[in-house]
Amino acid sequence: MRQTGKPWIKRTHKLDSSPGPKESLIISGSLVRDGDVVDRITAIGGLCDSKSIRQNPFFLMRNGVTLSESHRLDTVNAWWEQFLPNTPAPSSEFMAAATGGSVPIDSEGSISVMLARHKKRGFLTLPRLQQLCLVYLLGRMAYLAWCPSLAQLCFLTLNLGAFLLTCFCGSCLFWTLWPTLGEPEEFANAELRRMARMASGRLLLVPPTAQPSDVVALCRGGVVPLVLRPVCPDPDTDKISDFELVGECYVYGMMDPSKWVFERSRSIILV
pLDDT score of 165 = 84
Closest to 224 (Cα-Cα) out of 4, 10, 21: 10
What is the spatial distance between Cα 87 and Cα 80, in angstroms, rounded to a whole number? 9
Q: 3-class SS at 40?
A: strand
- The full set of domain ranges for the chain reads 1-46+194-271, 49-191
Task: Compute the C-alpha angle 91/95/101, nearest 5°.
Answer: 135
Beta strand ranges found along the chain (DSSP E)? 23-28, 39-47, 194-198, 203-206, 215-219, 226-230, 242-248, 250-251, 265-270
pLDDT score of 81 = 92
Q: What is the dihedral of CA 7, 102, 174, 71, to 10 degrees?
A: 100
pLDDT score of 212 = 92
What is the spatial distance between Cα 100 and Cα 155, in angstroms, rounded to a whole number? 51
User: Each residue's pLDDT tens digit in the chain (271 positions)?
Assistant: 344 444 443 333 333 333 333 444 555 545 544 445 568 899 999 999 988 888 888 887 777 777 777 888 899 999 999 999 988 888 888 988 998 887 766 566 778 888 888 778 777 777 788 888 888 889 989 988 898 888 888 988 998 888 888 878 877 777 677 766 667 888 889 999 999 999 888 899 999 999 998 988 887 777 788 898 888 755 554 466 678 889 999 988 777 666 666 666 667 777 7
Number of DSSP helices (H) and strands (E) in the chain, helices first: 7, 9
pLDDT score of 125 = 76
For the entire predicted model, the pTM comes to 0.74
Decide if 50 contacts 183 (C-beta within 8 A): yes
Q: What is the DSSP letter of 201?
A: S
Decide if 103 contacts 252 (C-beta within 8 A): no
Q: What is the DSSP letter of 37?
A: S
pLDDT score of 82 = 94
